[in-house]
Structures are given as C-alpha cells and as structure tokens.
Structure 1
Amino acid sequence: MHLERLIEQASRHLPAAPNGQQQTAQPIDGLQIVRHHVPSTFEASLYEPVLCLVLEGGKQVAIGEQTFSLSPGECLLVSHGMPVRSRITKASYLALVVEVDIATVRELYDKIADSALDSKRARSAQTHRADPGLLDALGRYVALAQSPVDAKVLGSLTSKEIHYRLLMAPFGGMLRSLIRHDSNASAIARAIGFIRDDIRSPIAVPDLARRVRMSASSFHKHFRTITSTTPLQYQKELRLLEARRLLTTGGASVTAAAFDVGYESPSQFSREYARKFGVPPSQDLAPG
C-alpha cells in the first residue's frame, strides 16, 4: 500500500472539527490516529510499548540519551514503558499509533525460526522506514473500522500480522529478544514493572537485580543499554510525570503531590520538577 492511500484512509476517521490544535480518533481497539495542526514545544509523557508511524509532518522524540527525528514513512518502535520528551517539528502532523502487546509477540515464538531471532545492539526504542508489507497490514487494520463485524472477526488476526511484521523487521530486535522469558530484555521489562508498581519506595538496585535474577553490575549495565537511563533516573522520571498528573487534574497541593510520589523534601521536588517541565509545580496547579 502506498503512503498516500494510508493517509487518505486515516484522515477519514478524524473528527470534522479540531479539538484546539489537535485531532484524535480511535477507530479500532489498539489503534489511535493523531493529527497536530501546529508545531509544538517538547512535552514529557510516558510511552507504553507502541508503534508510531508518521504519515505527514515531522516529530522528534527524546528517550534517555537518544533523540529520534521522524519524517513521513518512518516508524518509531518502543518495546518497554518509557518516559519520553516529544515535539511536533512540522505540521500538519498525522500519525498512526498502534499498541504493541508483548503477549501477542510471545505467542509467535514457536513459529519464528531461530535464525530470525538476532537481537544484538537492540534498544527499547528504534526507528526504521516502514516496508510495504507493514504499510499494507496497517492499511487493512485501519480499513476494518468501516465494518464492526469485520473488526470483530478480523481485528485480532490483522493485529497479529502487524506484530509478526514488527518482530521480523530490521528494527524489531528488542521484540525478538522479549519473546524469550530468560532474556536480558525480559528481565529489564520485569524490573520496570516492579518500579512502576511502587514509585514511592526508594530503589535498592541490588535488591531489584536479585528479583530479576541478575547480578547488580549486569543489571545496571543492561538496564542502561536497553532504556538509555539508570533505574534511579527512570524512577525519578515516573515520579515527576505522576506528580504532574496529580497537580493538573486537581485535588493535590504541591506538597501533597511531592509526598504522594515519594519525595521527602518538597523543595527538592520543586527544583527537579522545574528542571524537567520548565515551570514550577505551582504553575501547573489545576484551577480550584
């Protein structure tokens, strides 16, 4: 499928009137269509495992020490839950965002030849130009939204094909590693789960390493290789993102938000919050 045809299909599902500077639609489970009408500054958020295919415009995504610039026809594949900073660099920006289900990836394990499982130098975020097979599968996935019956019957099959094509793609190395429960990538994914389950408690790296059956030195090395950050920095990013959610949705003071996410010093929280978001936490308080 040509990119132009996919742009036409995706645009049909967007609402007629923009919601401010952005339009979004979720025509089928696991798929979101996003359009931004103007460029933006960097914004912090949390990416779950996801595929982002840029159809029009441009986007820049910073994850840890890595920065990716995406143009039409290019994909970003994120395999682990990651704090990111992103901005729209060129409008009008249009993209498909597809949830990546690691369980679906692992269902394909027995069907993939060992020779296809090379995952050397893979990281949790990688980019590549979408090949015709992936574009075709995504186009059919978007088209399913036209018929609820088709979506119900064929949606899971088409989703599995998309996961297969990601698994076999040049940038699918981390997914290929994740299909093995005993891989370093799977161990780091479990560690990320432990951190996210309790962001308030201080991290003891040796204890966390033991929980995923790795030595402390090996754990630290692979955590940084895969996520481009350290466990402590990862937790701090999650704490600040959650604090911002608490402040902007209302019901929490700056001090309460700081304590709720695990900070013992509100002043330290305010400094780190301002460093990350560019404004003091008091400026993000929801109107009371």
Structure 2
Amino acid sequence: MKLLTFYEKDSLLLGIRVEGRGVLHVTAAANWLNLAGTPIPCNIHDVIAGGSEAIESLERLTEQVLEQEPEIGAVLFQDESGLNLGPCVTHPNKIICVGLNYQKHAEETNAPIPEYPILFNKFNNTLAGHGDDIPLPRVSQKVDYEAELVIVIGKRAKYVSKDEALGHVFGYCNVNDLSARDLQLRTQQWLLGKSCDRFSPLGPYLVTSDEVGNPNDLKISSTVNGEVRQNSNTSDMIFKCDEIVSYISQHMTLEPGDIILTGTPEGVVMGYPPDKQNYLQPGDTVTIEIEKLGQLTNRMVEEA
C-alpha cells in the first residue's frame, strides 16, 4: 500500500494512492460511508502504530469505495497532481541517519570503510514534502543532494536480532538528505550541516514493507535539472537494513514512527574533484527516485 499525507486548510490528512484512480481521501471516505464507530486510522502515525490491523481496515475501506463506483468515486478520489503533499511521516520521534554507508560513496570521498555504522541525527525542522521549495541557507555556499532510502519503524524494537529486525519495519520511503558541506565539515560533528530547515524532504509515499519486498536490492538515483548524478542500488550498502535496525536497537529503543536514513550512494557533489564541484543553486530541481517508492522532487530557492 502507498500512503501519503496532504494539506487541507491547515491540517495534514491521510491519503491512499490507488493505481489508476488517484488518491483516496481517507477521512472523507469514512464519513461518506457512515463508518462512525469503526476504527479507521485517519492520520499516518495511527496507521504506523496500528500495523497490520490498520492496513487491513484501510484495505476494506478502499474496497467499499470501489464497490460503490461510479457514484462516489469522483468525490472521494483526488488527482494527486492537484494536492499539496506533506512529508509522508509527519512527526517522527527520532530521525536517525547512517553516514558513509555505501561502499563506492566512501571510496569517492576517500574515507575509510567504517567498522560500525556511523550514526548522527536530524530534527523535525528538516521535514518537507514532495513539491516543496527548499530554502538554501544564507550561511552556506555548498549545499549538496543525497538520495537515500528511509526505514520507517512500525513496532517497538529493543535488542532485536538481525533476523528479527525487518519484522519491526512498517515501510520505506525516499528522502533527500540535503547537506551543507561547509557547515558539516566545520567541526568533527556533522549535525550543523545536516539540520538546516527543510533539509529532509520525505516522500511522496510511505510504502508498506510487504509491497517493497527486499530493501537491500532497490535501484536508487538522483537527478539535478534532469541530469543523472547518482545511479546505484541499495545492494551497495555497507550495513544492510536488517543490520542497521538491529544495531541501533542495541543502544536505544526504536518506536513506531521513528525513521532511519540509511546513507547515500556515490555521485554527490562532494565526491567530485574540486574544480568540478557545482553545488546546488536557487532554481535547481532535484529528484530522488528509488525503485517501488516513486519520485521525490523539490526546487531549491533563496532563503527569505
């Protein structure tokens, strides 16, 4: 199932992308079908926390709507291109990132292959949605793109084994882990260059793990103004998704809705020779695409 969030006035609502039909407005569908008293999750975190039961209720809702076609379809299905999308996970409690987690990316930056996952964090101020403009901070001249796969936790995980780890995952999505390299490398701590406003556009969809299958074998790419910059596969990860979840759970409790950014492949600006490092400029459009997860596109703008 492909889930997304969209703005209606000042609220972020839940939608289901139905192939060939558009986006089902979950709250409107539940109201139309007079399902008061029936447990229908109407925001993304209720779905994540509800797990398989929540997914099953949304599947039944979708089936009921489709059974009553064409009478209510035009009302309840919306054209995705006309929606103002939000981040597909709206309020993660933790945003954990893994650095230098692709073999060829470590090589292009002349960094040693890490013995353990390199962890850092971002904050909710970095969240943005598909289609949002991303302000380039006035204090940086070196903003870089990073295509990454995101793991979204679905079940509390503490001291889980590698074999158990993916059973605690709800689903996956795209992120652009934008990075101000001049700020990131100013000190040994990377946080400053990673946590500028809207530096984690997320989406467009949160895709359930059953639909994704093996997360360690997905094509991943980024383009800038239509030019391919990164073109790889998650199989190049040094630490695979199950290893990452298990490792983090040994040190902290992962809760439903927590997200883990799993690192980026080769092809970032920082990996080019100095005379060919063309960092992002206002007007540049970046698209992140991962197999089965859709395309995440954002335009860079001057900070107001």
Q: TM-score, normalised by structure 2?
A: 0.23
Q: Which has the higher strand share?
A: 2
